[in-house]
Amino acid sequence: MAFQDRSGQQVPSVVFHTRKGDAWVDVSTDDLFKGKTVAVFSLPGAFTPTCSSTHLPRYNELAKEFYARGVDSILCVSVNDTFVMNAWLADQEAENIIVVPDGNGDFTKGMGMLVSKDQLGFGDRSWRYSMLVKDGKIEKMFIEPEKEGDPFEVSDADTMLKYIDPNWKSQESISIFTKPGCSFCAKAKQLLQEKGLDYEEIVLGKDATTTSVRAITGKTSAPQVFIGGKYIGGSEELEAYLAK
């Protein structure tokens, strides 16, 4: 099927049945879009591989960059029920994303993005796409090409940010292994924060063990910092690297 670029049109008027705590809460498209600038990405399903490993995590990682450029919220729409979406959000620890359970597919159908995934046992799901919406009006859509499988080429967070700000450049990804109560770890994190650099913290004893850091670096000390796929070292090496 040929997907229609709906840029310039209003988003479909839909009420989503969501679960917050022990209560049902109906959320309308007006609640989500009226008077706001919203980045939306839609995907085939919660807990599915690309959605969990790349699509949602990258939007969550770059949320501050979106906010700094006038985006009020980031929505993830999927044809899943609210219990599944809430469980996925908790599993992903994606505190910057609002998940929207389009359980009946009404919003996705209104967008012309409902597709059959019967061959996978999924039933009807959303084609992968993203869009920038201002006060309920779609300014720009990025629709994945119609290919076999599940293409993921244009609906990513980086593409959306570059549309919003053509001068935006991606920061190299940073990971830091730390230990609780480690003063050198605190120093390393402070150095990164002073430079305005976002990072992912891997806490030894919680997120990984010393076996992992030894296997990667040959050391068991903390912190151990990686930037853009390059091993930097501890806090002193990080300080020297950032001073260049």
Cβ-based neighbours of 222, under 8 Å, separated by 6 or more: 177, 178, 179, 182, 184, 185, 204, 213, 234
Tokens of 75: 């929505």
CA distance 58 to 64: 11
In order, the DSSP letters of 8-42 are TSBPP--EEEEEETTEEEEEEHHHHHTT-EEEEEE
Among this protein's residues, is 51 annotated catalytic?
Answer: yes
* Angle between helix 183-194 and 235-242 (nearest 10): 20
In order, the DSSP letters of 66-85 are HHHTT--EEEEEESS-HHHH
CA distance 134 to 95: 22
Distance of CA 165 to the CA centre of its chain: 18
Q: Report the DSSP pairing between strands 137-143 and 129-134.
A: antiparallel
Q: Annotated catalytic residue: which of 51, 76, 182, 185?
A: 51
Give catalytic residue positions: 51
